[in-house]
Amino acid sequence: MAEKNNAKQRYFTEELLRWHEQENDRSFPWQEDREPYKIWLSEIIMQQTRVAQGLPYYLRFIEKYPTLQLLADAADDEVFRLWQGLGYYNRCRNLLDTARAVRALHGGSFPKNYDGLRSLKGIGDYTAAAIASFAYDLPHAVVDGNVYRVLARYFGLELATDSHEGKKYFQTLASSLLPANHSAAYNQAIMDLGATVCTPKSPDCAACPLSKRCTARKEGTTTLLPVKQKKMAVKSRHFNYLLLMNREEYWVVKRKGKDIWQNLHEFFLIETPDSCTVQALMETEEWKVLQQGKAPKLLWQTQQRLTHQMIETRFFLVAYAGDRGLLPADGFWVPGKVLNKLAFPRTIVSFLEKKIYF
């Protein structure tokens, strides 16, 4: 049995490398050289992001910040503005922190070993393995959603990929399949196969180089694998943004704390437990602070689904005639014509594009 399993594993690695060399035509700009900075930047941008969405951002970042030094020197607001619309904004904060740490602690060059890379903020097991492999061809197997799917189907594995036991098993298996001196090619091949052939829905098994010995294809369990044990609960939130307008200026503030959209700008926010009427909105303590008698005017409403949250957002116009000193001290007034110079969450950008100046 052990010999049979070894043969199945050898076939997997050999066929994967053959397919990569002869048939895989998937390529991206960051693969053109082995510069750690570009590989790292691409990995951070592509986390939880489709390649089609992330690629334009990568190209804009490389154009504006072709070196790590330039990124490390950039102003926070400038970088967040370039990141705007990509989501998961903590990645952008980590991007800046890591660039500055590499400059300060490593002389501007990324560490050339897995542990050194793993010690950097925002670089987890997957990203450290990717940089170590693609930049330095070190023997570290990358394990992402594509890799889980290919391995689970080929070997017929029913371990939950989001369980501690499952993660450990898949990582060990992926490492055992890694060919000596061909780490980068193997890792790229298995990720590309998962992205283009062994896809979540409607996999192209006829075009798969592994189909001959694929357990899931043989047993008809392709649609059942990989297995996940958890379903993430989705929290509903209700944002009511007040566009406080006074003398052609709008009041804005930068979001802080550990919540979503950290370090991005927003308008005066009243978050309510549920979707509420205008009258109920005017009965909140936040509204009363403004000392406005006239009801706010609803301009637009929308919904945005994040990974674990559903945000219902409404935008109201308020011709603010009250004392500016009543507003939170960390906010500031901005002329409407320069709103597009600030970094906002995608929901607010969509509103501005439709209704005001962008």
CB-based contact 228:160 (threshold 8 Å): yes
Choose among 224, 227, 140, 221: nearest CA to 175: 140
Choose among 161, 148, 124: nearest CA to 44: 124
Residue 219 has phi, psi (to 5 degrees) of -100, 0
- How many CB atoms are located within 10 Å of the residue 151 CB? 24
d(C-alpha 124, C-alpha 106), whole Å: 18
Task: Pick left, alpha or beta for residue 161 (phi over 0 → left; psi -120 to 50 → alpha; otherwise beta).
Answer: alpha
Q: Which of 43, 78, 165, 266 is catalytic?
A: 43
- The per-residue b/e assignment along 106-116, b for 16 or more CB within 10 angstroms, e otherwise, is eeeebbeebeb
CB-based contact 126:190 (threshold 8 Å): no
Helices 164-177, 145-155: axis angle to 10 degrees equals 80
Task: Tell me if residue 43 is catalytic.
Answer: yes
Q: Which residues are catalytic?
A: 43
